[in-house]
């Protein structure tokens, strides 16, 4: 039995999902999705490197993403040559301290590798790698240690509960949600202190009344920003990759500058609340879901400025699919009275964007989305969520 299926939170999650409509794709979208997935996998089979990797310049993370996609297909087994080579490549990046990386982006790589390896249930060495990887991530989470200025990180600190790339010396929402994804997929108890601590950081990135530390600096629409600190030199100065919102003056006075929330981080935060088993009627969850209903679109990364709205688009599609699959509903109601079948919509959009060779790429190349292997992995993960 896969590790993810023995997670102690599973019973609660199944009860939660049973209380809402079950996904029901129509035959046409089901066929379209599976044809797109097969074409995407065929493309990736042709770009796998001899050592089993895909896009190894940032470490084993892209290889692990593709590995997870392959192992999610019912007709691809562990003895598939591409799978076998990918597993050995990922396992070759194990470090003595439990990390799975190439010396850079330690949290990012280890988290994504854990999620992929959790699909393998017949190798003791993989089980050992997962256990050590979980312990390694526990040590990377910011809490109790000193920040770059030497101040001890207590519960009130801007870093508390988060995880980051390492190079900026501060945590961010993207790495924090990846950490929780890796731990959740690899079977860690969602009541573990690492999830509880992460909730503090996640809340501080949300435009919600529950955010007592930074809520007055974020547009109060329920969405999420990127980080509670710009870098190690600007601790406690929150940051959004979408910049600041334009606001009208109030009573002749300039409106306070507030950070814009945006799609990819909002779905990441929403998904993380679900993985941490936060109550569905918690105000933070309801605020995030309100943002999702008010900003539903697959045409761009909502909330980003007009000239940047296609940046991070496929990361957005991936987090969109994962979050709404975890939420468990079939349709998303929007203020115009419509109910959108998110899975069918996602399939339609990704099928339209797929290139003739089976790949996907983002011409708005930021955050590595000019890399066809990475973007194809993002798209395939999104499609997999749509057909589950």
pLDDT in tens, 298-355: 999 999 999 999 999 999 999 999 999 999 999 999 999 999 999 999 999 999 999 9
How far is the C-alpha of 2 from the C-alpha of 12, rounded, in Å? 18
**pLDDT for 106:** 97
3-state secondary structure of 246: coil
Mean pLDDT of 287-299: 98
In the structure encoding, which two tokens stand for residue 274, read together? 């679900």
Q: What is the mean pLDDT of the chain?
A: 92
pTM over 0.75: yes
pLDDT, one tens digit per residue, over 5-20 is: 444 454 444 444 433 4
The Cα 299–Cα 262 span in angstroms is 14
Indicate the SS3 state at residue 218. Answer: strand
CA angle 344, 115, 355 (to 5 degrees): 40
Cα distances (angstroms) measured from residue 314 to each of 206, 301, 318:
22, 9, 6
Q: In the chain, where are the structural domains located?
A: 3-246+255-387
Res 108: pLDDT: 97
The answer to whether 193 and 239 have CB atoms below 8 angstroms apart is no
Looking at 205-260, which runs of residues are DSSP E strands?
A: none
Domain formed by 3-246+255-387, architecture? Alpha/alpha barrel (1.50)
In whole angstroms, what is the distance from residue 52 CA to residue 216 CA? 48
């Amino acid at each position: 039995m896969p590790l993810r299926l023995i997670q102690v939170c599973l019973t609660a999650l199944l009860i939660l999902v049973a209380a809402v409509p079950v996904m029901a794709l129509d035959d046409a979208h089901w066929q379209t999705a599976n044809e797109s997935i097969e074409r995407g996998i065929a493309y990736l089979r042709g770009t796998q490197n001899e050592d089993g990797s895909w896009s190894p310049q940032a470490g084993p993370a892209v290889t692990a993403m593709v590995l997870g996609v392959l192992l999610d297909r019912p007709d691809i087994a562990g003895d598939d040559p591409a799978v076998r080579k990918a597993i050995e490549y990922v396992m070759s990046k194990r470090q003595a301290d439990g990390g799975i990386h190439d010396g850079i982006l330690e949290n990012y790589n280890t988290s994504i590798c854990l999620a992929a390896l959790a699909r393998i249930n017949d190798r003791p060495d993989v089980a050992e790698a997962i256990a050590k990887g979980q312990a390694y991530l526990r040590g990377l989470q910011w809490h109790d240690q000193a920040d770059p200025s030497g101040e001890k990180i207590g519960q009130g600190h801007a870093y508390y509960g988060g995880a980051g790339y390492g190079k900026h010396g501060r945590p961010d929402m993207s790495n924090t949600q990846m950490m929780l994804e890796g731990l959740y997929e690899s079977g860690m108890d969602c009541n573990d202190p690492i999830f509880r601590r992460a909730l503090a950081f996640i809340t501080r990135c949300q435009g919600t009344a529950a955010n007592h530390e930074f809520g007055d600096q974020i547009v109060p629409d329920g969405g999420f920003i990127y980080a509670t600190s710009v870098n190690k030199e600007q601790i406690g100065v929150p940051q959004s990759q979408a910049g600041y919102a334009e606001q009208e003056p109030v009573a002749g006075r300039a409106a306070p500058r507030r950070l814009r929330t945006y799609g990819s981080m909002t779905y990441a935060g929403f998904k993380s609340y679900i993985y941490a088993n936060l109550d569905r009627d918690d105000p933070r969850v309801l605020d995030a879901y309100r943002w999702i209903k008010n900003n539903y679109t697959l045409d761009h990364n909502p909330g980003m400025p007009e000239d940047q709205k296609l940046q991070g688009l496929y990361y957005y599609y991936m987090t969109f699919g994962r979050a709404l699959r975890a939420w468990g509903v079939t349709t998303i109601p929007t203020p115009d009275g419509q109910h959108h079948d998110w899975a069918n919509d996602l399939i339609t959009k990704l099928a339209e964007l797929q290139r003739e060779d089976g790949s996907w790429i983002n011409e708005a190349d930021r955050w590595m989305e000019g890399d066809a292997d990475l973007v194809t992995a993002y798209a395939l993960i999104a499609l997999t969520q749509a057909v589950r």
